[in-house]
Amino acid sequence: MAVNKMRLCLLGFGAVGQGVANVVLKKHDELIDKYGLDLQITAIADRSGAAINSNGLDLQLALDTKKESGKIKDYPEFGVSDVDGLEVMDLVEYDCLVEATPTNIDDGEPTQSNILKAMGDKKDVVTSNKGPLSLNFKTLINAAKENNVKFRFEASVGGAMPVINTARQSLAGNKIESVQGILNGTTNYILSRMANEGTEYEPTLKEAQELGIAETNPYQDVEGLDAACKIVIIANALMGWDVTLKDVSLHGISDITSNAVQLALKDGYLVKLVAEAKDGKLTVAPMLVKQGSPFAVNGTLNVINFKTDLSDDVTVVGVGAGSIETASAILSDIISIGKANAN
Q: So which residues are the catalytic ones?
A: 230
DSSP-based three-state secondary structure for 35: helix
- Of 165, 178, 219, nearest to 333 by C-alpha is 165
R_g of the chain, CA atoms, integer Å: 20
Half-sphere exposure of 176 (CA within 13 A, CB side): 29
Q: HSE (CB half, 13 Å, CA atoms) of 111?
A: 29
Q: Is 88 exposed, middle or buried (0-12, 13-18, 19+ CB in 10 A)?
A: buried
Residue 64: name the closest of 72, 55, 53 by CA.
72
313: nearest Cα among 305, 322, 321: 305
CA–CA distance, 251 with 114 (Å, rounded to integer): 32
Provide the CB-side half-sphere exposure for 45 (13 A, CA): 29
Cis ω on the peptide bond leading into residue 132 (within 30° of 0)?
no
Asked if residues 301 and 1 have their Cβ atoms less than 8 Å apart, the reply is no
Query: Residue 50: beta bridge partners?
Result: 45, 80
58 phi/psi in degrees, rounded to 5: -80, 105
CB 141 within 8 A of CB 152: no
Residues in a beta bridge with 126: 98, 152
Is residue 113 a contact partner of residue 101, using CB atoms and an 8 Å limit?
A: no
What is the phi/psi pair of residue 313, to 5°? -95, 130
